[in-house]
Amino acid sequence: MNVYWMGLLSFSGAVVLETLGQVTMKIGTRNMSPGAGGILRQILTNLWVQAAIVSFITESIFWTWTLHLMPLIIAFPMGAICFATVALCSAHILKERITPQRWMGILLILIGVVMIGMKT
């Protein structure tokens, strides 16, 4: 397997883990009291939150690896895809109501982030 495919595989792993982490963290913070004590209790006792933390830690390893296999200039704009994957999972798994205006905003953000990352 060459560096290009290794990079793409590692990148895909990072995107999947980021999406999985965000969704499980959102599930884990439902009915949580938003104070420091409530948050600490949730970290120590809630399996969804713990799964999310494991996802984020594993993701950072994948992301570090990705940055060694492909240039930041390519990896960074590609990372914008997380805005799409997280929004889709919010709608279909978390059943959040995403209005057309919010979809439009997310689309503009996605395109904008790709443009910020691209350097001519």
Partner 1 sequence: MSIPTQRHPRLLLWLGLFLAISLDTSVQLCWRASVPQHGGMAHALGATLIKPLFLLSLLLHVWQLFNWMMVLALADLSFVQPITALSYIAVAVSSHWLFAENLDPLQFCGIGLVLVGVFLVSRTPSISPTSADVAISPCSSEAAG
Residue ranges binding partner 1 (CB under 8 A) = 22-23, 25-26, 28-30, 32-36, 38-40, 42-43, 49, 53, 56, 61, 64-65, 67-68, 72, 83, 86-87, 90-91, 94-99, 101-102, 104-120
Shortest distance, CB of residue 106 to partner 1, whole angstroms? 5
With beta carbons less than 8 A apart as the criterion, state whether 66 and 17 touch: no
With beta carbons less than 8 A apart as the criterion, state whether 93 and 23 touch: yes
Shortest distance, CB of residue 72 to partner 1, whole angstroms? 8
What letter represents residue 86's amino acid? Answer: V
Residue 1 CB contacts under 8 Å (≥ 6 apart), including other chains: 9
Shortest distance, CB of residue 90 to partner 1, whole angstroms? 4
Any idea what DSSP says for residue 8? H
- Report the distance separating Cα 81 and Cα 96, nearest Å: 19
Nearer to partner 1, 47 or 118 (CB): 118
Nearer to partner 1, 13 or 105 (CB): 105
Nearer to partner 1, 47 or 111 (CB): 111
Question: Tokens representing 21?
Answer: 């982490």
